[in-house]
Structure formats: structure tokens, C-alpha cells
Amino acid sequence: MTSHRQQHDALAQAYDGITRIVADLDDADLQRPTRCRGWLVADLLLHLVGDAQRALVALASPADGPPDVDDVSYWRSFPPGDDGEGVRHAWWVRRSAAAFERPSGIVRLWTDTAPAAVRAAGAADPAGHVATQGHVLRVPDLLATLTTEAVVHHLDLVLDRPDAPGPGVGALRVAVATMDGIAARWSHAS
């Protein structure tokens, strides 16, 4: 189990990695495809803004424990296949991103929101619990879920940019540990 400080540092690395990819993109670059089916860079970045906003809300709204999920079991709520919820979310993100006057507006929103989420994560009670998406998690587990999603989407953002910087080592460690945990639970379930 990693410490709150390690989880915070990993989240900071993950969000900084996203910022390094998008900060200097022009509006045309923000309209390039990603590995997320049907999503442009601007769309995926808006989805990530939603994660950072969710982090701010969760970290400012402590919950009573005990947790009902950890950083690995949290992902069971998002099974492979689609009951329509994923399609509806993808469509909402596309329409919301298109509502910006220019795609670069989403970058400005990201560069305002992501650092605030990282600061809130650092100030959170390491022994505390938060509620998000219908679950209660320990604070370090919430940070691990955010880091994992950011690392995965970091890779989605660099589809056609082999020279783009990769995610930070600490962020990768957290994402790999989460994925290893998911793989282990699925292999035991088979």
C-alpha cells in the first residue's frame, strides 16, 4: 500500500503530464483524434477536467467510512461492454466540448482546475474518506483512481505523437499497480 504522500505525488505527476501534452497545442491540434473512439483531444481533455472537478468536490466533502471500494474494486462499477451509460457520457462530452468558442478554452479550464485538484489532494486528510460516483473510498484510493485514469488517458492523447512526453514514473507505478490488481481479481474470478 502506498502512502498518501506517494499518491498525491503520483496524481501531481499524472496531471502535470497531461498539461505538458496539451499546454502548447493550437486549436487545430486540439481537434486531432485520440485513442478514445470518437473523441478528439479537446473532448478527452474535457472528460479529464470532469475528473479534476469531481476530485475537488469529493475532497471538499468528507464522508463517513468505512469504504465500500478501494482503488482496484472501484473499477468494477465500469464493466466492459456498455449499457448505454458510456455512450451517453461520450455524447455529452462531445457536445459540451463543442460548446466552447475555441478548443483552447478547454486547455485554460484544465490548467485552472487540475492544479487546484492536486492542491486539494495534498491538503486532504490521509486517513479520511470521500464519496464519489456512489462509492465511499479512502482518500489515497481516490487519488489512485484519478491517477490511473489520467495515465491511461495520457496514452490516449498521444496517438500520433511518438515524441510526446510520457507519464511520470510515480504516476505509472500507481496505474500499473491498479491494473495489476484488476487483472489479478479478474483472473481469480475466472
Strands in 31-92 per DSSP E: 62-63
Residue-wise pLDDT for 152-176, tens only, equals 999 999 988 888 999 999 999 999 9
Residue written as grid cell 485552472: 112
User: Can you tell me the mean pLDDT for 15-37?
Assistant: 95
Q: Residue 18 belongs to a domain with what CATH number?
A: 1.20.120.450
Q: Is the per-residue pLDDT at 25 higher than 60?
A: yes
Sign of CA dihedral 154, 145, 6, 4: positive
Q: In this predicted model, which residue has the larger pLDDT, 68 or 188?
A: 68
User: Can you tell me the mean pLDDT for 98-124?
Assistant: 97
Q: What's the domain range around 125?
A: 4-189
Q: Say if residues 166 and 17 touch (Cβ distance below 8 Å).
A: yes
Given this model, what pLDDT does residue 79 score? 57
Residue-wise pLDDT for 46-55, tens only, equals 999 999 999 9
Given this model, what pLDDT does residue 188 score? 67
pTM over cut 0.85: yes
Q: Is the per-residue pLDDT at 190 higher than 60?
A: no
Q: Say if residues 143 and 7 touch (Cβ distance below 8 Å).
A: yes
Considering its fold, how many domains does the chain have in total? 1
Q: Is the per-residue pLDDT at 115 higher than 70?
A: yes
Residue-wise pLDDT for 139-150, tens only, equals 999 999 999 999
| β-bridge pairing 135-138 and 129-132 | antiparallel
Q: Say if residues 105 and 45 touch (Cβ distance below 8 Å).
A: no
Q: Is the per-residue pLDDT at 92 higher than 60?
A: yes
